[in-house]
Amino acid sequence: MTNLQKKLTAIVLSLTLLLCACADTSYVATIDGQKIAAGRFILAQLDAQAEALEKFNEQYPDANMNQELFDYSNYTLNEDGQDIPFIDWVNNKALERITLLAAYESEFERLELVLDPQRAADVRNNVRTTWGSAINPEAGMKEKTIGEYHEARGISESSAIEWGLSSLKEEAVFEAYYGVDGLFPVPSDEIERAFHIEYRRALILPVYKTDVNGEPLDEIDLAEARERAESYLNSAKGGTSFSELEAAEEDFRMEQDRLLNPDNYAFEDDFEDDFQDDFENDDIILSEGFEFTADFDDDELEEEQADLDDEAEDIPQTDEEEIEETEEDENEDEEIYDENEFDIIYGDEEVDSEFQISRDMAEQLGEELISLLFDELSDDEVGMAETDEAFYIVTRLDISQRPDWLERSRELLIVKLREDTIKEEMLKIAEGFDIQLNEQAIRRYNPTRLID
C-alpha cells in the first residue's frame, strides 16, 4: 500500500466517520449531508474486486476456486506487511473511490465546469442500451437482460448513469488542472522526457512456438523454430531487411498451413490444374457456353497494343487524373521508409512490424521482450527474446523520429505524470467532508456475492 493509499484509507475510516445503524440500506453513506446510493458503492466494489482478485491470484496461485463451497471471506490480502480480510480490503477500496468521486464533484462545481452535452448524452444512451441488452441463454443465468442482472445485485439504471457522469466530471477536473489551457499545464519537455522513458520503438518479428492451428510444437519442430529464429537474427544483424525476414516467415507459415490443412487448398489446386490444361490447348474459357480460341500470333498482339497506346495519349486528362499527378509530385520530396536504414515512415507507407511498446505491456508480450527493449538494446541494435509464446527478433529504433507517436501519447502521459498529484489534491478536499457510513448497508452488500 502506498502512502497515498494509506492517507485515503485514513480519511474514509478514521477522520470524521460516524457509523450508524440505519434500517434504510438504499444508501451506504452521506457526504456533507448528501446520500451516496448503494448502487454507486456496489459499482465501486466491482472495480475494487477486480484489483483484489488479481492480488488473490498472486498470493494464492494454488487455491482451488472451482470447489462448490469456496469462500473468499476466509482469505486475507497482504498489503505492506499487513494481512487484511478480503471483504475489508474490497470495501476499503470502494469507500476510497466514492470519497474521491465526491471530491472531484465538489471541485467540478467550484470551478464552474460544464459537461460536454454530447458526451453526457452518450453515457445515458449507452447505459440505457446496455440495460436492455439480452443475455445469451447459453450462459445459464436466470436473468434475461443485462439490466436484470445488475438490478439483482443492487445496481439501478440511474446509479449506473450517475457513475458514468461522475467519471466525466473526474476527467473534466483533471483537464481543468493539467490540460493545455489548464491551471497547472504540464511542460512539454517533461512530457517528452516521459515519452522516452515509457515507450520504445521497435521492429518485431515473432517465430511462434505453435503451428498455424495453434497447437504447441513438438520437440523436433520447436528446435527447428529456434534454429529458424536464430537464422533470422543473424541475417538482421548482417543487414537483411525486416521485410525480407517477414516474407520468409510468412512463406514458411503458408507452407505449413498447406501441409496441415490441405482441404483448404483443394479447390485452388483444382482450379490451377484446369486453367493450365486450358492454356495447353490454346483455349481460354471465359464463361460457361462461351469459348475464345487464341489463334493469333505475338506480332499481332504487339501491333494492337501499340494502337491502343496511341489512342490513350490523345485522350485529354480529367481533373481527377491531374489531381493524382499533383499528389505524386508533392510526395516526391517526402522521406520514404528504407528498411535497411530503419528510417521513419512518412507519406502513406505502412510497416506492419513496427510497434510502439510501453513498459505496461509486459503481461501481454512477456517480461523477457520488455527487458530486452528497455534495458539491453540501444537504438539500431538487434536482439532476440524468448517467451512462452514465441522467439522474438527485435530491432530497437530511434523513437524521437516518431513525433506523431508523441502527440498521440500526450494525454496518456499527462495522466501518468499527474495521477498521484491530483489524488493528493482531492485528498485535501476530502479532509473537510463530514462523512457518515451506513454500517448496515455496508454489511448487507458483501462483495463476495458479486463474484460469479
Coil/strand/helix, residue 279: helix
Give the Cα separation of 16 and 325 in Å (integer). Answer: 73
Q: Tell me, what's the pLDDT at 206?
A: 95
All three cell numbers of 342, joined, read 530503419
All three cell numbers of 274, joined, read 484446369
Q: What percent of the chain has pLDDT over 70?
A: 75
Query: Of 440, 39, 396, 387, which is closest to residue 204 (Cα–Cα)?
Result: 396
b/e sequence 133-160, b meaning 16+ C-beta within 10 Å: eebeeeeeeeeeebbebbbebbbbbebb
All three cell numbers of 143, joined, read 436473468
Number of residues that this document lists for the chain? 452
Give the Cα separation of 300 and 309 in Å (integer). Answer: 14
Q: Helices marked H in 132-156 — which ranges?
A: 146-151
Is the pLDDT at 138 greater than 90, yes or no? no
b/e sequence 359-380, b meaning 16+ C-beta within 10 Å: eebeeebbeebbebbbeebeee
Q: Tell me, what's the pLDDT at 439?
A: 86
Q: Tell me, what's the pLDDT at 21?
A: 47
Is the pLDDT at 42 greater than 80, yes or no? yes
Q: Helices marked H in 261-402 — which ranges?
A: 266-280, 298-313, 319-331, 362-365, 367-371
Average pLDDT, the chain: 82
Q: Tell me, what's the pLDDT at 450?
A: 75
Contact criterion met (CB below 8 Å) for 387 and 207: no
**How many angstroms separate the Cα of 376 from the Cα of each of 262, 363, 373?**
43, 19, 6
Q: Tell me, what's the pLDDT at 447?
A: 85
Q: Tell me, what's the pLDDT at 17?
A: 45
Give the Cα separation of 123 and 116 in Å (integer). Answer: 11
Q: Which of 103-117, 279-293, 356-370 has the highest mean pLDDT?
A: 103-117
Contacts 24+ apart (CB under 8 A), 241-244: 241/339, 241/340, 242/203, 242/205, 242/339, 242/351, 242/353, 242/395, 243/339, 243/351, 243/353, 244/339
Q: Tell me, what's the pLDDT at 194?
A: 97
More confident residue, 298 or 145: 145
Q: For residue range 195-251, list pLDDT tens digits in order.
A: 999 999 999 999 999 999 999 999 999 999 999 999 999 999 999 999 999 999 999
β-pairing, 354-358 vs 290-293, is unpaired
Q: For residue range 55-106, list pLDDT tens digits in order.
A: 999 999 888 777 666 788 889 999 888 899 999 999 999 999 999 999 999 9
Q: If pLDDT is split at 50, 70 and 90, which confidence band does 449 have?
A: confident
Q: Tell me, what's the pLDDT at 348?
A: 32
Contact criterion met (CB below 8 Å) for 149 and 26: no
